[in-house]
Chains A and B, each alone.
Chain A
Amino acid sequence: MEWPRDVAETMFERRRLQVIADPTVVRVSEMKEIQLSDGVGYTFTTVSETPSGLNSETSYEILHEGYVYALIIDVPLKHRDEYGSLFDDIARTFEIVA
């Protein structure tokens, strides 16, 4: 069953707002669309406090045949910019084969 696009967008936006509610979270970026191998996905970046310092977590999420798949890449915030668009490129290789 293929879910309507706005359903996925609403669901991932709700998840993003839940992340903001976490007290360890410092800030969350806006959500944006990204074209993945299996359809349109959604991505946002969360900065949170951890025992080892500020951490950046970039999430790529897609709703596919009733299941949610999330690809999350963690990196210390101070190294986040070194990766540039590499995280996006990794997400674009993600392919559901089940």
Chain B
Amino acid sequence: MERSNASGGSDISERLDTAAATSSAVSPPPPAESAADTRTRRGRRIAFGLLGLCALLVIALGALVFTHRQPPVKASSSPQASPRPDRASPPLGFADSLTDIGWQQYKPDGFSLGLPPLWIPYFKDIPNADPYLEWVATGYSDTSHPPAWLYVC
């Protein structure tokens, strides 16, 4: 009875050992596989990082080359050459901009004349003129200007 119990106990123990050995042989040890995965993942990360850096470097170099090939652009704040009124040759006649600044054109018989703002025209004929002279007179007076007279002979 006692032996039978002993042999029975040994048998169970062997089975348990065999089962334990069998089970340990089928499933791989987890700690050893996790380290390998970590190394692989780290390697992949490094590879992708290097690849990204290379791509950024290529883009930056391309942009640099593109910028250098562009023609120089003038700064918008640079002063533009604006046409200036030429005092040496002002507009002749009266069809230009004199009316825009308030001048008026007067057309007595035989001539036309432009006068600045507030100049009051005054025309009169001068008798006994030389046959080679056409005499006409015009004048202006204005309270805001010193007395001045203008004659067209």
User: What is A's interface to B at a CB cutoff of 8 Å?
Assistant: 35-37, 66-76, 78-79, 82-83, 85-86, 89-90, 92-98
Contacts and interface: CB of A to CB of B under 8 A. Distances in A.
Interface string B85-102: 001011111100010000
A89 B90 contact: yes
B123 interface: no
Interface residues of B, number: 30
Nearest to A61: B153
A41 B134 CA distance: 16
A97 B94 CA distance: 13
Given A95-B93, A98-B109, A69 B152 contact: yes
B133 A67 contact: yes
Given A70-B152, A85-B87, 15 more contacts: A36-B92, A68-B132, A68-B133, A69-B111, A70-B151, A72-B151, A72-B152, A73-B149, A75-B148, A76-B148, A92-B91, A93-B94, A95-B112, A95-B113, A98-B111
B61 interface: no
Interface string B4-23: 00000000000000000000
B109 to A, nearest CB: 7
B106 to A, nearest CB: 10
A36 B114 CA distance: 13
B150 A74 contact: yes
A97 B108 CA distance: 9
B105 to A, nearest CB: 7
Q: 8 closest pairs, A vs B, by CB?
A: A93-B114, A75-B148, A70-B153, A79-B146, A98-B110, A72-B151, A74-B149, A37-B92
A96 B107 CA distance: 10
28 contacts: A37-B93, A67-B132, A67-B133, A67-B134, A68-B134, A68-B153, A69-B111, A70-B133, A70-B151, A70-B153, A71-B151, A71-B152, A74-B148, A74-B149, A75-B147, A75-B148, A75-B149, A76-B147, A79-B146, A85-B87, A90-B113, A90-B114, A93-B98, A94-B114, A95-B94, A97-B110, A98-B110, A98-B111
Contact of A73 (B90, B110, B148): B148
